[in-house]
Amino acid sequence: MVVSVSGRFRGLAERFEPEDFGLYAGRIMTSKGKERRVRAGKIEYKTTVADEHWRSEEFQWARILSSGNAAKGMVLLYIQKACTAFHEFEPALKQGALKEEQVDFFRRRLAKRVAHILDTMKNNGLDKINGAADLDGILLAVESASTLDELAELTEKMHSANHTLLDSLEKE
């Protein structure tokens, strides 16, 4: 499906596939065709996400980011960056875009992202929240991975830890 982007990006187009998380540029999508918003404090946010799972996740991000707690916002940012890295790494490997001799490079890159989250959490007193231990385990698994397949197998663990940590940040 090709979707044109309106406004200042008029004339540009982006290609989205169904697996692209249900994102459709420039449109407010919901399963019932109604506009969905999240109100967090004085912030009102309108989503462009059609998929219910992704929409709920995006609203959670908006609530955390608008909570006024900079540490939680930064942890959220770093968790999302790490999760995205894993989610991009895995399909790239499955498509044959990576070479096994790159395992050291990717192990270092992915470990650095996970370690950065843990350091930020520790520096801001968030290292004891639910999900932090899961992240510690993922870091150890990344550091000890000897193949690209072992790294790719950690994608779902990272995704699950992401959800656990974000739920904890929201409750904290």
> Which CATH number is 155's domain given?
1.20.120
Q: Are residues 85 and 41 in the same domain?
A: no
Residue 59 lies in a domain: no
Q: Are residues 43 and 95 in the same domain?
A: no
Residue 153 lies in a domain: yes
DSSP symbols for 116-145: HHHHHHHHTT-TTSTTHHHHHHHHHHHHH-
Q: Are residues 104 and 145 in the same domain?
A: yes
What is the domain count for the chain?
A: 2
Tell me whether strands 37-40 and 13-15 are parallel, antiparallel or unpaired.
unpaired
Residue 47 lies in a domain: yes
d(CA 110, CA 108): 6
Looking at residue 43, what is its pLDDT? 60
Looking at residue 34, what is its pLDDT? 44
Cβ-proximal residues to 2 (8 Å cutoff; 6+ apart), any chain = 13, 14, 15, 16
Q: Are residues 74 and 142 in the same domain?
A: yes
Please tell me the number of Cα atoms within 13 Å of 134 on its side-chain side. Answer: 18
Looking at residue 4, what is its pLDDT? 33
Q: Are residues 161 and 103 in the same domain?
A: yes
Residue 56 lies in a domain: no
Q: Are residues 90 and 155 in the same domain?
A: yes
Q: Are residues 151 and 110 in the same domain?
A: yes
DSSP symbols for 59-107: HHHHHHHTTS-HHHHHHHHHHHHHHHHHHHHHHHHHTT-S-GGGHHHHH
Which residue range forms the structural domain that includes residue 153? Answer: 69-171
Residues of the chain predicted below pLDDT 50: 1-35, 40
d(CA 150, CA 135): 16
Residue 58 lies in a domain: no
Looking at residue 127, what is its pLDDT? 94
Looking at residue 49, what is its pLDDT? 81
Interior angle at CA 43, CA 13 and CA 8, nearest 5: 25
Residue 64 lies in a domain: no
Strand partners, 43: 40
Q: Are residues 76 and 47 in the same domain?
A: no
Looking at residue 36, what is its pLDDT? 52
